[in-house]
Chains A and B, each alone.
Chain A
Amino acid sequence: MIAAVHLSLGEVVAALALVAVAAAVSIWRRADLERDLGIAVVRSFVQLTAVGYVIQAIFDSDSLWLVAALLAVMVAFGSLTARGRARAVPGATWPIVIALSVAGLVTLGLVIALGIFPARARYLVPVGGMVIGNAMTAAAVALNRLADEISSGVLRIEATLALGATAREAARGAVTRSLRSGMITLIDSTKTTGVVFFPGTMVGMLLAGARPLDAVRLQLILLWSLLGSVALSSVIATSLGYRGFFTAAHQLRER
Chain B
Amino acid sequence: MLRGVSLRLGDGATALLGPSGAGKSTLLRLLNRLADPDSGRILFRGEDIRALDPRELRRRACLVPQLPAPLPGSAADNVRFGPSLVGRDVSVERSLELAGLSRSYADRDASRLSVGEQQRVMLARALALEPEVLLLDEPTSALDEDAREGVERTLADLVARTGVSMVVVTHDRGQASRLASRIVELAGGRLADGPAGVAAP
Q: Which A residues fall within an 8 A CB radius of B? A: 155-156, 158-166, 169, 173, 249-252, 254
Closest A residue to B65 using CB positions:
A159
Contact B54 A163 (CB under 8 A): no
Name B125's closest neighbour in chain A (CB-CB).
A163
Are A162 and B34 CB-contacts (below 8 A) given A173-B72, A250-B54, A251-B54? yes
Query: How near does chain A come to B166, taking the closest CB pair, in angstroms?
Result: 15
Which of B50, B62, B72, B86 has a CB less than 8 Å from the CB of A162?
B62
Q: How far is the CB of A177 from chain B (nearest CB, A)?
A: 12
Minimum CB–CB distance for A160 against chain B, Å: 7
A249 to B58, CA, bound (A): 11
Of A158, A160, A161, A162, which is in contact with the most chain B CB atoms at under 10 Å from its CB?
A162
| Among candidates A156, A161, A166, A173, residue contacting B34 with C-beta atoms closer than 8 Å | A161
Q: In the complex the two chains form, is B65's CB within 8 Å of A155's CB?
A: yes
Across the interface, name the chain A residue whose C-beta is closest to B82. A163
Q: How large is the interface on B (under 10, 10 to 19, 20 to 34, 35 or more residues)?
A: 20 to 34
Cβ of B59 < 8 Å from any Cβ of A? yes
A164 near B69: Cβ-Cβ < 8 Å: no
Instruction: Please provide the chain B residues from 127 to 182 with a CB less than 8 Å away from any CB of chain A in the complex.
Output: 129
Across the interface, do A249 and B72 meet the contact criterion of CB distance under 8 Å?
A: no
Q: Are A249 and B65 in contact (CB under 8 A)?
A: no
Could you tell me the distance in whole angstroms from the C-beta of B36 to the nearest C-beta in chain A? 7
| A155-B69, A159-B69, A251-B54 given; A164·B129 CB < 8 A | yes
Contacts of B129 in A (CB 8 A): 163-164
Residue of B at shortest CB range from A162?
A: B63
Q: Is B35 at the interface (CB under 8 A from chain A)?
A: yes
> Which are the 9 A-B pairs with shortest beta-carbon distances?
A163-B82, A159-B69, A164-B59, A162-B63, A156-B69, A155-B69, A164-B55, A249-B54, A164-B58
**What chain A residues lie within 8 Å of B70 (beta carbons)?**
156
What does the 1/0 interface line of B31-74 toward A look like (CB < 8 Å)? 01111100000000000001000111011001111010111100
Tell me if B98 is interfacial: C-beta within 8 Å of chain A.
no
- B58 adjacent to A159 (CB under 8 Å): no
Determine the distance from Cα of A160 to Cα of B34 in the docked complex, in whole angstroms. Answer: 11
Contact A158 B85 (CB under 8 A): no
Choose among A165, A249, A254 the residue with the greatest number of B CB atoms under 10 Å from its CB.
A249
Q: A161 — nearest CB in chain B belongs to which residue?
A: B34
28 contacts between A and B (CB under 8 A): A155-B67, A155-B69, A156-B69, A156-B70, A156-B71, A158-B34, A160-B69, A160-B81, A162-B34, A162-B65, A163-B58, A163-B59, A163-B81, A163-B82, A164-B58, A164-B59, A164-B62, A164-B85, A165-B55, A165-B82, A165-B85, A166-B55, A166-B85, A249-B54, A250-B55, A251-B34, A252-B34, A254-B35
CB B25 to nearest CB in A, in angstroms, measures 11
Contact present for B32 and A162 (CB under 8 Å): yes
Q: How far apart sit A249 and B36, CA to CA, in the bound complex (Å)?
A: 9
Roughly how many angstroms separate A221 CA and B79 CA in the complex, as a whole number?
48
Q: Does B126 contact A (CB under 8 A)?
A: yes
